[in-house]
Amino acid sequence: MKDCLFCRIIAGEIPAKKVYEDEHTLAFEDINPQAPTHVLVIPKKHIRGLKEASPEDADMIGLCHLAAAHVARERGIENGYRTVLNVGPGAGQSVFHLHLHLLGGRDLKWPPG
């Protein structure tokens, strides 16, 4: 989708520090990290967000989680990390291409703010 920031990162039109890529997913460093590890994992297919996802997107969303687990393993942060999907502006979603935040490398409080 041409007006989508993350589609443009997938297309290579906007640079990003890639940390993992496979056929269906791409992971890259968040530009404004909130933890020592703050990686965004996105499906290569444009999905606006979780509430717009349909059953046919289930594999894609699952693969994003598995990609996050892979990156966490590589980073050695398996003692504790968090995957977060902000859904809608009220939860802080600011980019409307579904993305998973992988946060780790520090103590994480519960509940999140």
Catalytic site positions: 99
**E strand or H helix at 38:** strand 37-43
Q: Are 49 and 96 in contact (CB under 8 A)?
A: yes
Q: How far is the CB of 77 from Zn ion (least distance, A)?
A: 27
- Applying the rule CB under 6 A, the residues between 47 and 106 that interact with ligand 5GP are 86, 92-95
Nearest residue (CB) to ligand 5GP, 55 versus 111 = 111
The answer to whether residue 30 forms part of the interface with ligand 5GP (CB under 6 A) is yes
Who's near 14: CB < 8 A, 6+ residues apart? Answer: 5, 8
- Which DSSP state fits 43? E
Nearest residue (CB) to ligand 5GP, 33 versus 62 = 33
> For residue 60, what are the CA distances in angstroms to 36, 46, 70, 71?
26, 10, 15, 17
Q: How far is the CB of 97 from Zn ion (least distance, A)?
A: 3
Task: Catalog residues that contact ligand 5GP under the rule CB under 6 A.
Answer: 5, 14, 16, 28-32, 40, 86, 92-95
